Amino acid sequence: MGRSGQHQSLLYQDLSVGMSFRSPGRTITDADVIGFGTLTGDLSEVHTSDVYAENSQFGRRIAHGLLGLSYAHGLMWPRTEQLRHTAIAFLGITDWRFVAPIFLGDTIFVNYSVAAMRDSKSNPDQGIVTFDVEVVDHTGRLCQKGQKVELLSKVPLGGVVASEGDAR
């Protein structure tokens, strides 16, 4: 899978097209699904009722697709801190597909690689990086895939530098 980079903050210039990563895992729990459903208002029975879900095409309860997408984002960067010193903004998602359900009890991982990089047209101290992303479960089954685009600083962000500074 290439360079892991876990818990190592990377600068824009440290990245290159083809560089690949794998996130730590995250097991999806009942509390995750109920909490996400409550937060979003999506309390569909395929997510919340064992009886309903057992009689659905899935045969058991599934996590919300957007829960998987949200957790994938958190597993990729905040949890690994790979882009802590440079991540400015999440710019978008392209061609995202929900390929297979994520079941309660599944542990998901994110495999991602740098697909494209370019300098920002409006700010020479920034760059835009596109990542190919796959969310897989603990068996390696592909659950979701697509691309995520992130705006990065080419220099360490002032807020991060300040938060890591000397305690006074």
> 101 in a domain, yes or no?
yes
CATH code, domain carrying 156: 3.10.129.10
Total Cβ atoms within 10 A of residue 139: 7
Q: Which residue ranges in the chain fall short of pLDDT 50?
A: 1-6, 167-168
CA distance 141 to 80: 22
Sign of CA dihedral 132, 137, 140, 142: negative
Over the stretch 38-47, which tens digit does the pLDDT of each residue have?
A: 999 999 999 9
> 31 in a domain, yes or no?
yes
CA distance 130 to 167: 36
Segments forming the whole domain that contains residue 116:
12-163
Task: State the total domains in the chain.
Answer: 1
Longest dimension (CA), the chain: 60
CA distance 79 to 63: 20
